Amino acid sequence: MQDIEREQMEFDVVIVGGGPSGLSAAIRLRQLAIAAGNPDFSVCIVEKGSEFGAHILSGAVMEPNALTELIPDWKEKGAPVRVQTKGDRVYMLKNETKYRELPEKIVPSLMHNHGNYIISLGNLVRWLATQAEELEVMMFPGFSAAEILYNEDGSVRGVLTGDMGVNAEGQPKSGYEPGYELLAKYTIFAEGCRGHLGKRLISRFNLSEGKDPQHYGIGLKELWEIDPAKHQEGMVLHGSGWPLSETHSNGGWWLYFDENNQVSFGMVIDLSYHNPYLSPFDELQRLKTHPLIRNILEGGKRLSYGARALTKGGLNSLPKLYFAGGVLVGDDAGFLNPAKIKGTHTAIKSGMLAAEAVYEAIAAGRQHDEVPTYEQKFKASWLYNDMYQARNFANAMHRMGIWMGGAFNFLEQNIFKGKMPLTIRDRMPDYDVLERADHAYIPEYPKPDGKLTFDKLSSVFISNTNHAEDQPCHLKLTDPEVPIKRNLKIFAEPAQRYCPAGVYEVVQSDSGAKFVINSQNCVHCKTCDIKDPSQNIVWVTPEGSGGPNYGAM
């Protein structure tokens, strides 16, 4: 397979990932080129999903400032950004039946949503893709970027897309198509959280030197259509406490009332949790049995389900953003405000800043070198201030717990306005905090009723997840013996529970335990790559077009 002759395509800029940051970078590059009278400036964007937006999942409440900077007339152009927030409510769930609504004055100011919009991020990305296409960006959906291509001096020269039509043993099937070499003066990596190429770049160029380890959460979402009598369009609900309080884990839930009697319901759980028996999927199902949530969803219809990891380390974990031949943007770098639990406006802005720096470099006749002006532009922008104000939010919750951490964040955000002369560090990686299974509390999860609560497999079914038959498994084990010989003995093999799609199983038989990987179920959330306590699972991109196909998520 190594000696196959591959077609090469050359561009000024190649962008890996068609989410909000990648598309915003593409749009901004073409805007700058057209304004400078350089219409032949070529931009290519490669997206592993079957279409732009297919793999996009978020809450989502969006601050419109970055979108307005990118496309000032977005309203006139029909952006799917219509439902403005009309009120905030924040709850503390005390136990399985009781709760308390928190007074607005004690809620950290960054959690207020006045002037924001409830959106489907998937629909916004589809719309951004149409804007990029109108600007003549070369759009390649359904193609995965499988490898990074380097020049002899070690600088990035582009990417290799994955071969199509390869069997599980790595041999060509009928209809085999070799991948393309996409070459560029600069490559922008916008893969999203824990991008498999971004992870390699961070390691190769030592981009995280002197930074805290990146921290993550897993976000699980269900889209519901509810009784119109219960619907309050524009209302935003957030909460924390039960059920995560039973395992002393951090996280919270949301419920956003969108248009057409739909509500976005979901939960973010910090992947710094300690209990190996915790199951994020089942915590979401258990949460729905609380009267506060049940009364809203009961009698409605679940339309879709999905899950993805998200970065939560914030500014303290942000790597160096540039390297010879390219840059990192969006969630690939860690641009998410953990206090606001929002990444759309930060992703858009990071893509714009990278585009401006890269365009200036190419206009000056440069290529394949470092672009430090990207980081300089970031530090001079509102994006840096936005992330600086929230730099301690997640770390305070990790280090101090929900009550003391919440009190600290209230003081920092409401009294010191994000400028407290103190930076809290959190240097313990998320994978390295699990306690031994024989010391851990085992939560009781409800049996699914198929109306309000569900099982994993029926949930994966409505995520429209699919992968081509007989292709190489994209979930690689560094050592196949680790899951049974180490993880099962010490941690009761937590992959069975932390995966929100039922990919991993331990099957017992007369010959002993066997670790089974059902890669067909994978929703590309990357949780296994992050949380495996032995760091033995490596997520790589499967064949293009595989994975979930989310609708209005």
pLDDT tens figures, 393-415: 777 776 777 767 667 766 666 66
pLDDT band at 339; cut points 50, 70, 90: low
Q: Given 24, 58, 85, 350, which residue is catalytic?
A: 58
Residue 472 pLDDT > 80, yes or no? Answer: yes
Cα 238 to Cα 115: distance, rounded to the nearest angstrom: 17
**pLDDT band at residue 524, thresholds of 50, 70 and 90?**
very high
CA distance 243 to 251: 10
Please report the pLDDT score of residue 41 as a whole number: 98
Q: Is 88 exposed, middle or buried (0-12, 13-18, 19+ CB in 10 A)?
A: middle
58 catalytically annotated: yes
What was the pLDDT predicted at 88?
93
Single out the residue of 374, 375, 409, 377 nearest to residue 392, CA to CA: 409
Q: What is the pLDDT of residue 418?
A: 67
Confidence label for 427 from pLDDT (cuts 50, 70 and 90): confident
Instruction: Give the pLDDT score at 414.
Output: 67
The pairing of strands 181-189 and 156-161 is antiparallel
Task: Determine the average pLDDT of the residues in 71-78.
Answer: 98
Query: Tokens at residue 434, please?
Result: 């699990």
307 closest CA partner among 283, 329, 333 = 283
Looking at per-residue confidence, does 353 or 402 come out higher? 353
Tell me which of 116-120, 286-290, 322-326, 338-342 is least confident: 338-342
Condensed to tens digits (0 to 9), the pLDDT of residues 161-211 reads: 999 999 999 899 988 999 999 999 999 999 999 999 999 999 999 999 999
**pLDDT value for 333:** 78
Specify the pLDDT at position 183: 98
pLDDT at 391: 81
How high is the pLDDT of residue 2? 55
CA gap 106, 277 in Å, rounded:
33
308 catalytic residue (yes or no)? yes
- Characterize 344-378 residue by residue with b for buried, 16 or more Cβ atoms within 10 angstroms of its Cβ, and e for exposed: bbbbbbbbbbbbbbbbebbeeeeebebbebbbebb
- pLDDT of amino acid 415: 66
pLDDT at 382: 95
Marked catalytic residue, from 499, 527, 541, 545: 499
pLDDT at 112: 83
Residue of 459, 528, 541, 545 marked active site: 528
Q: Please, which pLDDT band fits residue 105 given cuts at 50, 70 and 90?
A: confident
Annotated catalytic residue within 126, 240, 302, 522: 522
What is the share, in percent, of the chain residues with pLDDT greater than 70?
A: 95
Query: Mind listing the pLDDT tens digit for each residue in 114-128?
Result: 999 999 999 999 999
d(CA 398, CA 404): 10
Which of 375, 377, 384 is CA-nearest to residue 337? 384
522 is catalytic: yes
Q: Quick: pLDDT tens for 240-266.
A: 999 999 999 999 999 999 999 999 999
Mean pLDDT of the 137-145 span: 97
> Which among 85, 161, 344, 453 is annotated as catalytic?
344
525 catalytic residue (yes or no):
yes
Binned at pLDDT 50, 70 and 90, residue 93 comes out as: very high
Given a cut of 80, is residue 3 above it in pLDDT?
A: no
- Is the pLDDT reported for residue 231 higher than 90? yes
Q: Are strands 156-161 and 145-150 parallel, antiparallel or unpaired?
A: antiparallel
User: For all residues of the chain together, what is the average pLDDT?
Assistant: 93
Active-site entry in 30, 308, 391, 497: 308
* Residue 212 DSSP label: P
Q: Are 196 and 540 in contact (CB under 8 A)?
A: yes
Query: What is the reported pLDDT for 68?
Result: 98
Q: Determine which one of 317, 453, 459, 525 is catalytic.
A: 525
pLDDT band with cut points at 50, 70 and 90 for residue 343: confident
Residue 344 annotated among the catalytic residues of the structure: yes
Share of residues in the chain with pLDDT > 90 (%): 84
